[in-house]
A and B are shown apart, each in its own frame.
Chain A
Amino acid sequence: MSEALVTTIGLSKVYSDHAGGQIRAVDSLDLSCHAGEIFGLLGLNGAGKTTTMRMLSTALTPTAGRAEVCGHDIQTAAREVRASIGFLSGTTGLYHRLTAREMIETFGRLHGMEAQHLKSRVEEVLDLFEIDKYAGMRCEKLSTGMKQKVNIARAIVHDPPVLILDEPTSGLDVLAAATTLEFVQKLRELGKCVLYSTHIMSEVERLCDRIAIIHGGRLRGLGTLDELRVSTNRHYLEDIFRDLVREDAA
């Protein structure tokens, strides 16, 4: 197997509640994700997927444990980590008053890309997502699907080795979602390490090489789809997921 580009060891995130208790959003998570792999994080709303990804992107600080991205510690080398990832979630927005092209160019520049390389790279991603026709339009005028494409283009313009995609098809119509999934598959072909979070089973079945099922912040199952089938004696991912979550509830 290729080298692990993302590893977490005992990664935890704890919030406090009003009564002085603690909410363990992520609890001792051990994961590793490799180059050329799409690693699915599957869980219900509030399972801890987004918190995990935000910790990996350095936006949040872990309460305990550690994690590395491309060999950089997320706490001591946050800047290097951010340079190595492309992050996309439902909350990462676009600058509405910039055009699609300006948006992608701006983030390329912020990632330190040289002008000449940036220019060709911007054309490349515009072409890849078939948004070159709309490149001159302000982001506020784009449709939801187009905005999501621009957002993905923004996340990959600096060609990062690791992509962290948090529910990237959320809010997209069928065609736009299909385009996004096709693109994620292309990323694998390009040797990228993709951490893909969703609660849509079909996406995971179609895309992911390995799957981590998270519930209540804890890892409930980890492996390829076949390995999970064997361990739970179930065929469909939905049944596997339900079993693992129920097991936790019991």
Chain B
Amino acid sequence: MKSPLGLLVWKEATELRRDRKVIFFAIVMPAILYPMLMSLSGGLTEKRIDELSETHVTVGVVGKLKSVEDVLAELPNLSLREYPSDLFADSLAALVRAAEVEAFVDLRAGWEAREGDEIPQLIVYAHRSREESREAAERVTDRLQELREAERQRRWESAGGRGRLDDVIRETFVDVASESASAGASTGRMLVYLLLFSVFGAGSAVAMEMIAGEKERGTLETLFLTPFNRVHIARAKLIVATASTMLAGVLMVSSMMLAYRMGWISTEGEAVNTAISYQALLTAALLVLPLAILTAGMLLLISAWVRSLKEGQYYQMPMMMLFFIPAVLSTSQVIQLNPIVAMIPIANVGLAMRDVIIGTANPGLLVIVVVSTLVWGALALKGVTTLMSREATVLGFDPEPVFAQTHGGRLRAIHFSMILGLLAFFYVGQWMQAKWELMGVGLSLWILVPAIAFGVYRFAAGRSAPGWTGLRDTLSLRLPAARWFLIAPLFALGSMLPIAEGIWGLQSRFLPAPELLPLAGLEDISLLTAILLMAVTPAITEELLYRGVCLGLMRRQMSAVWAIAFSALYFSAMHLSVFRIAPTLALGCLFAWIALRSRSIFPAMLCHLVYNGGLVLGGWYGESHEFPLSPTGPFAWAASLAVLGLGVVLARGARSETGVRAG
């Protein structure tokens, strides 16, 4: 018999592992949610910093000093523009303010002195509210640090090792931003921060009460007995929750502005008065509406999902993170709105409000922000309706276990195990690749991916695929019709240009990739190793996981179209790069379609092998300019489409059990 302690531990552990709150807070949040949020905000920040570092800036210089000019001229993406030495300081500030130059360096005072009597002056003029100006000033001051050190050393030595070290060069930073612009920017940022929190606070109090509270008190079931359907009930709740949230937001903005203007909060009241126009305030207030709809929708979604008000209160904390991070980000100017960021819920509204208030908003981006926020809100409402229609909402418990041997249970098991597999690949695979580099890549593909495939199959197949027959059928481990050994390479060759040029190119318009990622690092290995590692290995192991286990299991539970879409989504997510999502999604769909259409995994493997092999060869010979044909241009496109068309024509004749038609 087990020890009393062991029995008690077992009892506690059993109870806790069945508590979804514990699973969420102990596993999902630390393993998925926090890293996801941090990587999103970190990625956006890094991207913007990279963009800024590559931005070309012009810096004005007065007071000709060759040593300084030489040092600054070495800086990439920076041009120096000399101005006459008789300009007054006000004129320098005006030039920066008018964006004639991003920053100004005034080197007129003290630099000609060589005997240490006069302290050289380095005066940098920049506009703190403009990020390009700040960037220019930072580049200049960082670079001049070296010069300052040298000058410091020279003066110290010429003074015989005496004197105060910190007096060698006096640096002065002059912010040329007008008082109103600075006040407007700081007020605007603070307003957005407070607004997001007040909207979240009001929304969460109302939304939690409206569904979770009603569930707990039994009034939701009473309401369900009225002739209205649950869509009407969900919509009504959304309207009220949105109105309350909106009210909180508008009241917060109004009262804050009133307090600023009356001078109750800050002495900058006058400045704010002129800095933030009524038009900007009205636009910001209009942005509260989509934000309120989305906030109410998301909180109602949580409220509908939980079983009680108390459980709902636990989930308010992670929800708050979704507001907290954008709120913090919006107080800085590092992250800029672009078409992609404008579609990220909550963060987009925070950043848009900031831009509106400081007067730098782009109308096109504002439209994207509003439309995407409304779409997210509509999706949240759809989710609320779906959750409210579940029997669990009436029963107070889930009528079937999460991983039951039913259609729904198996679906959840597949998604759960695939997500777990992705996490394992992310953490363990990254560790392997960091530790053993190329060998690590091989190990992660040859050991980790098959291990994930095995784990997913064992967990998710359940009774739907018993024994060897079940495994063979799920993975489609059967020989296809002979023609597929021709069709698969045709699809691979024909799709290379449309994916690499078409989809990649289209995506680059919205999301410029920092580099051509797929072939990075090729230069250090032999061609044979590259082919084995980047074409043969993924063609076998990734196909086993994604077109074998994942697609095979999903096909048992859903239509061919959804199975293709989901397996491609997981395949795309495994590549762990936002820049590769679209191309790998398209490829995943292609491989999955081939696997289903041919009823065999082998053509998909062949297609994957030829596609990746083609990329490796193209990259290899392309680098050394030995590739015989130009891979782009109208001829290449025509040839690609012709090859693709031939593949489609041949595939049309091939039989399919899926109902997926070629062409």
Give the residue of B219, B394, B406 whose beta carbon is less than 8 angstroms from that of A94.
B219
Complex Cα–Cα for A15 and B219 (A): 24
Q: Residue A143 at the B interface, CB < 8 A?
A: no
Q: Is the CB of B218 within 8 A of A93?
A: yes
Q: Is the CB of B225 within 8 A of A82?
A: yes
Q: Is the CB of A85 within 8 A of B462?
A: no
CB neighbors of B among A86-112 (8 A):
87, 89, 91-96, 107, 110-112
Chain A contacts for B218, CB-based, 8 A: 91-93
Chain B contacts for A61, CB-based, 8 A: 391
Q: Is the CB of B226 within 8 A of A107?
A: yes
Q: Is the CB of A96 within 8 A of B225?
A: no
Complex Cα–Cα for A113 and B376 (A): 37
CB neighbors of A among B202-245 (8 A):
217-219, 221-229
Q: Is the CB of B227 within 8 A of A82?
A: yes
Q: Residue A154 at the B interface, CB < 8 A?
A: yes
CB neighbors of A among B582-601 (8 A):
none
Q: Determine which residue in B219, B222, B224, B462 has the highest number of CB atoms from chain A within 10 A of its CB, and name it.
A: B222
Give the residue of B225, B228, B409 whose beta carbon is less than 8 angstroms from that of A92.
B225
Q: Is the CB of A60 within 8 A of B463?
A: no
Give the residue of A15, A82, A94, A96 whose beta carbon is less than 8 angstroms from that of B226.
A82
A154 to chain B, nearest CB (A): 7
Chain A contacts for B400, CB-based, 8 A: 15-16
Complex Cα–Cα for A112 and B406 (A): 40
Q: Is the CB of B462 within 8 A of A96?
A: no
Task: Provide the B440-476 mask, 1 if CB < 8 A to any CB of A, else 0.
Answer: 0000000000000000000000110000000000000
A26 to chain B, nearest CB (A): 13
Q: Given that A60-B391, A93-B219 are known contacts, is A16 also in contact with B401, CB under 8 Å in the complex? A: yes
Q: Is the CB of A110 within 8 A of B219?
A: no
Chain A contacts for B463, CB-based, 8 A: 20
Please give me the residue from chain B that is nearest to A18 by CB atom: B401
A118 to chain B, nearest CB (A): 14
Please give me the residue from chain B that is nearest to A59 by CB atom: B394
Q: Residue B405 at the A interface, CB < 8 A?
A: yes
CB neighbors of B among A110-146 (8 A):
110-112
Complex Cα–Cα for A91 and B462 (A): 36
Q: Residue B663 at the A interface, CB < 8 A?
A: no
Q: Residue B399 at the A interface, CB < 8 A?
A: yes
Q: Given that A60-B391, A61-B391, A93-B219 are known contacts, is A16 also in contact with B404, CB under 8 Å in the complex? A: yes
Complex Cα–Cα for A95 and B226 (A): 15
Complex Cα–Cα for A61 and B390 (A): 10
Chain B contacts for A110, CB-based, 8 A: 223, 226-228
Please give me the residue from chain A that is nearest to B226 by CB atom: A110
Q: Is the CB of B222 within 8 A of A92?
A: yes
Q: Is the CB of A93 within 8 A of B225?
A: no
Q: How many residues of B contact A (CB 8 A)?
A: 25
Complex Cα–Cα for A20 and B410 (A): 11
Task: Provide the A74-90 mask, 1 if CB < 8 A to any CB of B, else 0.
Answer: 00001110110101010
Complex Cα–Cα for A212 and B224 (A): 27
Complex Cα–Cα for A95 and B218 (A): 9
Chain A contacts for B399, CB-based, 8 A: 15-16
Q: Residue A197 at the B interface, CB < 8 A?
A: no
Complex Cα–Cα for A18 and B413 (A): 13
Q: Is the CB of B225 within 8 A of A59?
A: yes
Interface residues on A, range: 20 to 34
Chain A contacts for B395, CB-based, 8 A: 60
Q: Given that A60-B394, A82-B227, A93-B217 are known contacts, is A20 also in contact with B405, CB under 8 Å in the complex? A: yes
Q: Residue A54 at the B interface, CB < 8 A?
A: yes
Give the residue of A16, A20, A80, A87 whose beta carbon is less than 8 angstroms from that of B225.
A87
Q: Residue A17 at the B interface, CB < 8 A?
A: yes
Complex Cα–Cα for A92 and B395 (A): 12
Task: Provide the B363-395 mask, 1 if CB < 8 A to any CB of A, else 0.
Answer: 000000000000000000000000000010011
Q: Residue A180 at the B interface, CB < 8 A?
A: no
Q: Residue A57 at the B interface, CB < 8 A?
A: yes
Q: Is the CB of B222 within 8 A of A16?
A: no
Chain A contacts for B227, CB-based, 8 A: 79-80, 82-83, 110-112
Complex Cα–Cα for A93 and B223 (A): 9
Q: Is the CB of B405 within 8 A of A16?
A: yes
Chain A contacts for B401, CB-based, 8 A: 16-18
Q: Is the CB of A154 within 8 A of B409?
A: no
CB neighbors of B among A24-81 (8 A):
54, 57, 59-61, 78-80
Q: Is the CB of A91 within 8 A of B221?
A: yes
Chain B contacts for A112, CB-based, 8 A: 227
A211 to chain B, nearest CB (A): 25
Chain B contacts for A107, CB-based, 8 A: 222, 226
Chain B contacts for A111, CB-based, 8 A: 226-227
Chain B contacts for A57, CB-based, 8 A: 225
Please give me the residue from chain A that is nearest to B402 by CB atom: A18
Complex Cα–Cα for A189 and B325 (A): 65
A204 to chain B, nearest CB (A): 24
Complex Cα–Cα for A16 and B463 (A): 14
CB neighbors of A among B257-313 (8 A):
none
Complex Cα–Cα for A94 and B225 (A): 13
Q: Is the CB of A16 within 8 A of B226?
A: no
Complex Cα–Cα for A83 and B227 (A): 5
Complex Cα–Cα for A93 and B406 (A): 33
Q: Is the CB of A93 within 8 A of B222?
A: yes
Chain A contacts for B221, CB-based, 8 A: 59, 89, 91-93
Chain B contacts for A82, CB-based, 8 A: 225-227
Complex Cα–Cα for A83 and B400 (A): 30
Please give me the residue from chain B that is nearest to A17 by CB atom: B401
A86 to chain B, nearest CB (A): 8
Q: Is the CB of B462 within 8 A of A20?
A: yes
Give the residue of B225, B396, B406, B409 whose beta carbon is less than 8 angstroms from that of A85.
B225
A sample of 29 cross-chain residue pairs with beta-carbon separation below 8 angstroms, ordered by A number, consists of: A16-B399, A16-B404, A16-B406, A17-B401, A17-B404, A18-B401, A20-B404, A20-B405, A54-B394, A59-B221, A60-B391, A60-B395, A79-B227, A79-B229, A82-B227, A87-B225, A89-B221, A91-B218, A91-B221, A92-B218, A92-B219, A92-B221, A92-B225, A93-B222, A96-B217, A107-B226, A110-B226, A110-B227, A110-B228
Known: A15-B399, A59-B394, A110-B226. 19 other contacts (CB 8 A): A16-B399, A16-B404, A16-B409, A20-B462, A20-B463, A59-B224, A59-B225, A78-B229, A82-B226, A85-B225, A87-B225, A89-B221, A93-B217, A93-B218, A93-B222, A94-B217, A94-B222, A96-B217, A110-B223
**8 smallest beta-carbon distances between A and B, as pairs:** A93-B218, A20-B405, A16-B400, A16-B404, A110-B226, A93-B217, A83-B227, A92-B222
